[in-house]
Amino acid sequence: MYRCMLRSVCSGGRVCPALVPPPTQSPSWMLRNTTEERHHRLAEQCSVRCMSSAARRPRALHSAFPVLEQPLQSIHQHVYEANLRNSNACHKRYIELLEKARKGGGEKAIARHTQRNRKLLVRDRLRLLLDDEDFLELSPLAGLGLPYGDISSAGCLTGIGRINDLWCVFIAMDATVKGGTAYPITVKKQLRAQEIALQNRLPCVYLVDSGGAFLPLQSEIFPDKNQGGRTFYNEAIMSAMKIPQVSVVCGSCTAGGAYIPTMAEETVIVHRIGTIFLAGPPLVKAATGEEVTPEDLGGARLHAEVSGCVDHFAFDEKEAYDCARNIVSTLNFQLPEEEEEDEEKTRKRKAEEEPLYSSEELLGLAPECYNSSLDVKMVVGRLTDGSRFQEFKARYGTTLVTGFAKIHGNLVGIVANNGELSYQAALKGSHFVQLCDQRDVPLLFFQNTAPTAGLTLSTTQAEMNSNRLKAQGSMMSAVACASVPKITVVIGGCHGADSYAMCGSAFDPNFLFLWPNARVSMIAPGHAGSLLPLDSESEEEKKKEEDELNRRLMEESSAFFSSGRLWDDGVILPQDTRKVLGDCLDIIKQQQYQLSTEKRQSALLRI
């Protein structure tokens, strides 16, 4: 049931005749930008609310998808156990890296931050900002293992959490990592978080505590399109698209860092902690010889009382996050009221929703390598509501599994690799993706693509490869042009062109996650031979080159190597996948509750 926003124009259960909804409604996640559509939507909400108490709630069509009977059997045992051993080793590495990332800039920097600078640590800040600790952290391992060192959390935490029940993206700099300065990977992480906010129309909250660019790497941060300035460009574009942005100045905002709060729509600054200036006191001294305190140069009082760069003054951090939460409550979203449910009903509903098989079994289904892949329907059956799945084209192109299911009550179309993406499989994939687009059903891709390049050793094979190429090209077009939300989970291999058709990163999925066992590379480790040219090199030299390439492929294809470079939105554990997917689908849906989405001519200008 929705709350009424148009009490003044409708009463007594009558629907305003000027605002009758059109016969077909746009899907909830599509941007609704025209005035007409906005009115239709308001009318729709209004009409629902204004019906008498006897009004019926809209009901989804009843579905009784078949249950996927996919128990583990003794025939699977050998592969299952090998996968399980690999998953356990990957899990151990994942925990080690996570702990490393959570240490931020190390003990000395933490002491300087909390004791000398009297600031809260970034996770404590999030605790005060968000409703609870159950947030979706994005790319927590980004920044680890880079050529220029380990940059914990890439110097800033990003994710999606609830503020007053509203999902918001947060971008929170961690000043214990080199004073919160921006490395190239920091910029990339911030841009990806903004992209997610843009694509899913999520409000964005910035916690700014940054010394600007990390100067030794300035050439990789400053000039190019997707570098430093893009953050500010995005702020303007997001504002024009009515994607709200709020910032809290909870530390230094120097140089580039100064534009983030100044360009946000509403900004709070913390007394004695927050400062905003293009150049700090040391530069002033060097240029003019004048000694000035940070507070006098660009402190909270100056910006709240004189410059107007900020809108709210807070005496301490707690007050600042309370203030940010209050700002979020004015963003004009109307979330649906929670349905009242007694304990027994909740328990029954949850029991019905749960898959029939334990999610822990996914650890033994996560393939160690392509050859250890078991039937992907075993994975699907451990993720969907009640292990139910309505398969599409079950007997055609069987190396791709397609069909409908529900995840936490959300209808989705599933596209899952179950072998090579053959000609028939790709045709089927194209058809199914277009079908979901036609019906406005979000798509979930479970990716486990083939490790080798297609060799052409005969005319028949050449013909097969050409047909496959055509069909894969069609599937890529269908995926690229589908306007429904797309979520990709790499459950095994992400190799070569097959991965594009399966909505790899270049195909703009709303979210892309990896399982810790995943391998991401042009070609899988062990298959380097097919990439090397057939020239006159001696066998020995060729073997050496092949071994070296395979070693590099092994190292560079790990999920952690990928996530460190932010080629994805993070490594997630197989057993957490259902929860993450449920959250993502919930997050994507939220935009339908924003009441004002009509694009403005320009961004909101501060003064």
Q: What would the x/- binding string for ligand COA be over residues 93 to 122, using CB under 6 A? A: ----------------x--x----x-----
Examine residue 158 and tell whether it contacts ligand COA (CB under 6 A): no
Nearer to ligand COA, 179 or 403 (CB): 179
The position carrying tokens 């073997």 is: 543
Is 572 one of the binding residues for ligand COA (CB under 6 A)?
A: no
CA–CA dist 116, 388 (Å, integer): 56
Q: Is 259 a residue that touches ligand COA (CB under 6 A)?
A: no
Which residues are within 8 A (CB) of 374 and not within 5 positions of it... i.e. 6 or more apart?
76, 79, 80, 83, 365, 367
On whether the CB atoms of residues 503 and 478 are closer than 8 A, the answer is: no
**Nearest to ligand COA of 66, 149 (CB atom):** 149
Question: Residue 219, class by beta-carbon neighbours within 10 Å (0-12 exposed, 13-18 middle, 19+ buried)?
Answer: exposed
Is the CB of 103 or the CB of 408 nearer to ligand COA? 103
- In terms of CB distance, is 207 or 518 closer to ligand COA? 207
Residue facing ligand COA at closest CB distance: 211
Among 213, 363, 379, 415, binds ligand COA (CB under 6 A): 213
Kindly report the number of other CB atoms within 10 A of residue 593's CB atom: 16
Helix (H, G, I), strand (E, B) or coil at 212: coil
Rounded-to-integer distance, Cα 4 and Cα 42, Å = 9
Using the rule CB under 6 A, give the single segment among 66-74, 211-219, 432-440, 556-564 that binds ligand COA. Answer: 211-219
Return the range that interacts with ligand COA (CB under 6 A); candidates 10-18, 121-129, 177-185, 193-201. Answer: 177-185
Residues 540 and 548: their CA atoms lie apart, in Å, by 12
Angle at 190 between CA 242 and CA 496, to 5 degrees: 110
The burial of 526, by beta-carbon neighbours within 10 Å (0-12 exposed, 13-18 middle, 19 or more buried), is given as: middle
Q: Is 154 in the site for ligand COA (CB under 6 A)?
A: no
What tokens were used for 138?
């994005």
Query: Tokens 């107007």 sit at which residue?
Result: 308
What radius of gyration do the chain's Cα atoms show? 26
Parallel, antiparallel or unpaired: strands 136-138 and 156-163: antiparallel
Is residue 185 close enough to count as binding ligand COA by CB under 6 A?
no
577: left (phi over 0), alpha (psi -120 to 50) or beta: alpha
Which one of 45, 139, 181, 447 is in contact with ligand COA (CB under 6 A)?
Answer: 181
CB of 190 to ligand COA, least distance (A): 15
- Report the nearest approach of ligand COA to the CB of residue 212 (Å): 3
| Residue among 495, 467, 375 nearest 76 (CA) | 375
Distance between CA atoms of residues 493 and 509, nearest Å: 17
Which residues lie across from 400 on neighbouring strands?
Answer: 417
148: DSSP letter:
T
Nearer Cβ to ligand COA (280/397): 280
Cβ atoms within 10 Å, residue 30? 15
Closest distance of CB 143 from ligand COA, Å? 15
CB of 193 to ligand COA, least distance (A): 21
Rank residues 181 and 247 by Cβ distance to ligand COA and give the closer one: 181
Distance of alpha carbon 403 from alpha carbon 393, whole angstroms: 8
Only one of the segments 91-99, 249-257, 465-473, 592-600 lies at the binding site for ligand COA (rule: CB under 6 A); that segment is 249-257
Residue 109 or 520: the one with the smaller Cβ distance to ligand COA is 109
From the list 212, 228, 451, 516, which residue makes contact with ligand COA (rule: CB under 6 A)? 212
Identified binder of ligand COA from the candidate list 228, 280, 492, 493, rule CB under 6 A:
280
Quote the CA–CA distance of 197 and 104 in Å, as a whole number: 25
For residue 184, state whether it binds ligand COA (rule: CB under 6 A): no
CB of 412 to ligand COA, least distance (A): 45
Residue 277 lies near ligand COA (rule: CB under 6 A): no
Closest distance to ligand COA from the beta carbon of 319 (Å):
22
Our CA angle for 509, 193, 95, nearest 5°, is 90
Q: Smallest distance from the beta carbon of 130 to ligand COA, in angstroms?
A: 25
Answer for which of 161, 203, 211, 355 binds ligand COA (CB under 6 A) is 211
* Interaction between residue 255 and ligand COA (CB under 6 A): yes
Q: How far is the CB of 116 from ligand COA (least distance, A)?
A: 7
Give the residue with the Cβ less far from ligand COA, 149 or 336: 149
Told to check if 189 binds ligand COA by CB under 6 A, we report no
Stretch that binds ligand COA, among 154-162, 174-182, 191-199, 431-439 (CB under 6 A): 174-182
**Residue 215 in the binding site for ligand COA (CB under 6 A):** yes
Residue 312 structure tokens:
């709210």
Q: Does 186 bind ligand COA (CB under 6 A)?
A: no
Q: Helices 184-199 and 229-240, interaxial angle, to 10°?
A: 10
Q: Name which position in 152, 252, 472, 558 contacts ligand COA (CB under 6 A).
A: 252
- Kind and range of the H or E element at 327? helix 317-328
If one asks whether residue 206 binds ligand COA (CB under 6 A), the answer comes out as no
Q: How many CB atoms lie within 10 A of CB 454?
A: 16
> 3-state class of 528 per DSSP?
helix
Binding site for ligand COA (CB under 6 A): 109, 112, 117, 178-179, 181, 211-215, 252, 254-255, 280
